[in-house]
Amino acid sequence: AIALLAALFVAARLGKNDGIPSERMYDLGLWILIAGLLGSKLLLFVVDESYRTNPWLLFSLDFLRSGGVFYGGFLGGVLATWLLVKRYKLPFWKVADAFAPAVALGQTIGRQACFAAGCCWGKATSLPWGVHFGETGNANTGVPIYDNDGHNLYLHPTQLYESFAMLIAFGLLYWLHGRKRFNGQVFITYAMIYAFVRFTVEFFRGDNRGTVFGLNDALGVSTSQLISLIVGIAAFIFLVIRARKPKVAEDKGV
C-alpha cells in the first residue's frame, strides 16, 4: 500500500508538471495497477510449470498471495496506459514519462517488502552481507534456511540489490524528468535501466526462475533475463528514434 501511494503521488506530481491533471493521473494509476496485477499473474502462469500442468492451482491461496512476475505486470501496465491515453486523448509519452520514476520508487519499496517476507531470495553465499531467513519466512515462502548439513544458510539479499539499484534509478529519473530533451526520454531510460538491473540481479537469484516451454534452458538464461534483453534492445531503438523525431511532433505532445 505504501509503494502504491508513493508511486501515485510522484506520478501525479510529474504529470501535472507536463500539463496532465493530477486527478486523471490518479485514475490512470489505479487502472494501470489492475492491469499490472493481471499481467504479472498471467506471466507467472506461463513460466511456472506447476500452474500450467495443474490449472486448478490458479484458484489456490498460494497463487493469489504470490506477487507474480514483474515483467508481466510491466507489459500489462504499458498496454493499459496505451489504451487509456487513447480513450482520454492524452499524450502517451508524457504519461509514460510521469509514471516511470513512480514505478521505480514503487519497486524500491516493493523489494523491501519482498525482503521482509523472504520471497525472491538469492543463491547461497559466503559473503559477509549474506542474510539468513527465519522459520517464518521458510513457512510462508519456502525460502531455504539450512544447508544439506543442517547449518544456517546465508543467501544473497537479491531483494535489496534490486531495491537499492531502483532507488538510484528513481533519483536519476526524477532529475531527468525536469531536464528531458524529448517526450518519452524518461520512460525509455527507465526501461533500459531496469532491463540492465534485472538481467544482472537474475544471476544471483536462487528461487525457481521458471521457463517458457524450455526456451530458457536452451539459451542459458532465465525468463526475466530473456525479456530484459528484448526490452533493453527495444528501448535503445526507441531512444534513437525518439531522439531523431522532429521537434514539431514534440510541441504537439506526441
Integer Cα distance of 239 and 118 in angstroms:
36
Q: 67 near 114, Cβ under 8 Å?
A: yes
Cα torsion 86, 100, 38, 26: sign: negative
Q: How far is CA 207 from CA 2, 95, 116, 156, in A?
A: 26, 34, 16, 11
Q: What are phi and psi of 201, to 5 degrees?
A: -60, -30
pLDDT in tens, the chain (254 residues): 688 899 999 999 999 999 999 999 999 998 998 998 888 888 777 777 666 676 665 555 555 555 677 888 888 988 999 999 999 899 999 999 999 999 999 999 999 999 998 988 999 999 999 999 999 888 888 899 999 889 999 999 999 999 999 999 999 999 999 999 999 999 999 999 999 999 999 999 998 876 665 666 667 788 889 889 999 999 999 999 988 876 545 545 55
Closest CA to 92 of 79, 100, 105, 81: 81
Is this model's pTM higher than 0.75 or not? yes
Neighbours of 210 (CB within 10 A): 19
Q: 93 near 254, Cβ under 8 Å?
A: yes
